[in-house]
A and B are shown apart, each in its own frame.
Chain A
Amino acid sequence: GAGVSQSPSNKVTEKGKDVELRCDPISGHTALYWYRQSLGQGLEFLIYFQGNSAPDKSGLPSDRFSAERTGGSVSTLTIQRTQQEDSAVYLCASSTQDGSYEQYFGPGTRLTVT
């Protein structure tokens, strides 16, 4: 079946502009996660959704970052007034909540802020 998809694959934006990143999880996966991976670094947790609610937003770096999920499916991560330090690969993952904890990752969106 289809895996996790993300769009766009690459985004170049000017400092100060807003960007929206999209994640389509695997159909039926109720849990959705956003991570950020800076060059040569590990995966930094941003936010977790269970259905449409976000019980854990602890990783969002500032109030410029927000995310929503609608219909228990698609999620968008919005970064307002982008800064150069926001440049990274943004990865989305999804999983079931049936006791199988594996998170399936999307291909990521590479964001470059100039």
Chain B
Amino acid sequence: GENVEQHPSTLSVQEGDSAVIKCTYSDSASNYFPWYKQELGKRPQLIIDIRSNVGEKKDQRIAVTLNKTAKHFSLHITETQPEDSAVYFCASRGSNYKLTFGKGTLLTVNP
């Protein structure tokens, strides 16, 4: 089955700096790659996603890049703010509608 690896497990940055989280996946048939943000005690919420026919997607301070050849994708957050502090999960969707999630990255943005 699909295996998704996510790094780093924790990331601490100063406010205003950029943060990058990286994921790799194993199933070459995977075609959809969402990123979820989960604040403490809250439900995961989709922040950005990318499909396999696109290499990069940007939404304000958030961007995701996808390299299908290397089977990896990354989340980039620029100009980080304290409210960006949360756990971020990457995921990939294979041919059976199932999302396989990475183990998460705890991002802390220090004021």
A residues contacting B by CB (< 8 A) are 31, 33, 35, 41-43, 45, 48, 50, 55-56, 58, 91, 95, 97, 101-108
Judged by a CB distance under 8 angstroms, whether B61 is at the interface is: no
Asked, given contacts A42-B103, A42-B104, A50-B97, whether A105 binds B49 with beta carbons under 8 Å apart, the answer is no
B101 close to A56 (CB less than 8 A):
no
Q: Which of B19-44 contact A (CB under 8 A)?
A: 32, 34, 36, 42-44
Q: How far is the CB of B94 from chain A (nearest CB, A)?
A: 11
Tell me the complex Cα distance, A39–B97, Å: 26
- Kindly list chain A residues whose C-beta atoms are within 8 Å of the C-beta of B42: 107
Question: What's the dominant secondary structure at chain B's contact region?
Answer: strand
- Kindly list chain B residues whose C-beta atoms are within 8 Å of the C-beta of A104: 46
Tell me the complex Cα distance, A35–B93, Å: 15
Interface size class of B (residues with CB under 8 A): 20 to 34
B residues contacting A by CB (< 8 A) are 1, 6, 32, 34, 36, 42-46, 49, 89, 93, 96-104
- Kindly list chain B residues whose C-beta atoms are within 8 Å of the C-beta of A35: 101
B103 close to A45 (CB less than 8 A):
no
- Kindly list chain A residues whose C-beta atoms are within 8 Å of the C-beta of B6: 42
- Kindly list chain B residues whose C-beta atoms are within 8 Å of the C-beta of A43: 44, 89, 101
Which of these, A42, A55, A105, contacts B43 with CB under 8 Å? A105
Which of these, B1, B49, B102, contacts A101 with CB under 8 Å? B49
Q: How far is the CB of B15 from chain A (nearest CB, A)?
A: 25
- Kindly list chain A residues whose C-beta atoms are within 8 Å of the C-beta of B34: 101-103
A45 close to B99 (CB less than 8 A):
yes
- Kindly list chain A residues whose C-beta atoms are within 8 Å of the C-beta of B44: 43, 91, 105
